[in-house]
Chains A and B, each alone.
Chain A
Amino acid sequence: MVILLGDWKSASQLPSANEAIAGIEKRGPVRSIAFDAQELLIWGSGLLTFLVSLINCAEEKNISVNHEGLPDGVQRLLRLAFAVPEHKVQAAPRETLFSKIGEAALNYQKAVSETVGFIGEITLGMLKIFTGSARFRWADLLLAIQECGVKALPIVSLISILVGLILAFVGSIQLKMFGAQIYIADLVGIAMVRAMGAIMAGIIMAGRTGASYAAHIGTMEVNEEIDALRTAGIAPVEFLVLPRVIALALMMPLLTLYADVMGIIGGMFVGIAGFDISLLEYLHETKKAITLTNVWIGVISGFVYGIIIAVAGCLRGMQCGRSASAVGDATTSAVVTSIVSIIVATAIITILCNVLGI
């Protein structure tokens, strides 16, 4: 006999079924359990959970359980809970290290072939634009250009000015020791124009636009909008991806130039306010330092980053699964892929320039 007393609804600790069984068995062998619930005040799921595990425990030990003493509602709910047999999950065979490595390799191969296929599709789409048979709306392209061009200017300005400031400050500490403060202009100018402008613009756009591409296309996948495009005979790659890739590829070089200018202005601010360099001096020194080659390298890097960000964002969006959390994963993965690829691309471009002696 198990006597149920008092409040079984509270969120506080309730006795566990194992304790109860152990308590019963202490008094000698048990063949059946009955309940007395006359002094049970209120009950909730806590009581049901307790009873279900008690009954399961009792079944294992071949003890029969008599439900009759329980309140009517509890009996009904228990009957519901046991009406459908428990879904037995087949225990997955334990994976060995070998099979894990193998699976990772196979997944990797799949990911590579998917990415290459996607890039191929985009390339074919680009070719179609020249033959005039690509299906996308020019209005979408203009909208995408506005979205990743003009609307990105404020944040690009802010970050680039700050990066220029930081470069100038850090460099000035060393340069001041030689009384060579004027070279702050060279340092900031070359660093911004050749690499930092493009990298900063790239990272900002990866977080801002790449993520938005992945989230937008991913949500379209969830809402079956991509399927609707396919059944309408419109290739999603042409309709959704091409305008975005073109927009970023066109805008990133411009943003890079803009970031260069902003960074130089940031450095100039430090030079003029902190180290008594005159505006003209600073500008003259900057002009002497920067070569057209530097500018080209920066702009071309920006172009490459633009393509990387757009392709990564759209690819992750298209690979998105059909749930809200999948959209989140797609967005995260788009940003990570873009930033990693940007850094790798920077390394490759730098090494190439070195080898070619540019």
Chain B
Amino acid sequence: MKKIEPNIVVKNLTMAYGEKLIQRDLSFTVNRGDIFIIMGGSGCGKSTLLRHLIGLQRPTAGSVSYGGKDFWAMDQSERELIMRSFGVLYQGGALWSSMTLSENIGLILEQYTDLPSSEIRERAALKLALVGLAGFDDYYPSEISGGMKKRAGLARAMALDPEILFFDEPSAGLDPISSRLLDDLILEIRDSLGSTIVVVSHELASIFAIGNNSVFLDAATKTMIASGDPKALLAECKDRTVHSFLTRGIPDMVKT
């Protein structure tokens, strides 16, 4: 059994755009080696929570801490150091469209290492091979399919062997098989690199296949209404919204 140590601690986090409240009073802990799922219906603030976790947005109230230190209380250089340990896979891949796949990965390596360019190219090729895109080094993002873009985005996210990987809806827009393969890849990364993984998702199959911890955001009450292992939630959670979400059941609203 691995030692359980908290990696990300969120305390009383409140998120808002101006005066529009998105979510309030979120508190949860992501442990090292977890595959942590952020779930909830569409428009409840899952992606916004992700933006807070990766340091793109400042909390309106509350704190997000990494390794016991409040992210926004650190000075700039410390924050950059923390952010360097993140890898993020955005919803559409967000590959830099004016660069080839190899350059996309290489750019990050160039920024943080002093490797010669031949070595950078080799490493980029290795990362592409890991996600099943060997040989696509010189393709531009516009020349590959949506699923391939996601995998290339994953290769880029893994460029610096990150401690924490964030995924924004990895299965969105993928067919069941590609989505399943991506799930397997996520598990493989966790097991081989020991990374902590945070996934925003509303794909039930994927949630149960990979998640071992989760938080459930609710759009109506604007706060979290459940947390824990998704499989345990399915068995035990009494909340009707959570239950109908996890069983793909009919919510009360439409039931007559």
A contacts, CB < 8 Å to B: 83-84, 135, 137, 220, 223-225, 227-234
Contact = CB atoms under 8 A, between A and B. Distances in A.
Interface of B: 51, 54-56, 80, 83-84, 86, 88, 90-92, 94-97, 107-108, 110-112, 156, 253-254, 256
B254 A225 contact: no
Contacts of B256: 83
Nearest to B83: A233
Contacts of B110: 137
Given A83-B254, A84-B253, A227 B111 contact: no
The 9 closest A-B pairs by CB, nearest first: A224-B94, A228-B94, A224-B90, A231-B88, A232-B108, A225-B94, A83-B254, A231-B54, A225-B96
A224 B92 CA distance: 8
B220 to A, nearest CB: 13
Contacts, number: 50
A334 to B, nearest CB: 19
- Which among B86, B90, B94 has the highest number of chain A CB atoms within 10 Å? B94
9 contacts: A220-B97, A224-B91, A224-B92, A227-B56, A227-B88, A231-B54, A231-B83, A232-B108, A233-B111
Contacts of A228: 88, 90, 94-96, 156
Given A225-B97, A228-B90, 7 more contacts: A227-B51, A228-B96, A229-B96, A231-B83, A231-B86, A233-B84, A234-B107
B55 A231 contact: yes
Contacts of B108: 232, 234
Contacts of A135: 111
Contacts of B54: 231
Contacts of A234: 107-108, 111
Given A230-B56, A234-B111, A223 B83 contact: no
Contacts of B254: 83-84
Given A228-B90, A233-B84, A223 B97 contact: yes
Nearest to A229: B96
Contacts of A223: 92, 94, 97
B95 A225 contact: yes
A89 to B, nearest CB: 15
A228 B153 CA distance: 10
A83 B253 CA distance: 8
Contacts of A220: 96-97
A233 B112 contact: yes
- Which among B83, B96, B112 has the highest number of chain A CB atoms within 10 Å? B96
A224 B110 CA distance: 21
A230 B86 CA distance: 11
A232 B87 CA distance: 8
Contacts of A232: 107-108, 111
Contacts of B94: 223-225, 227-228
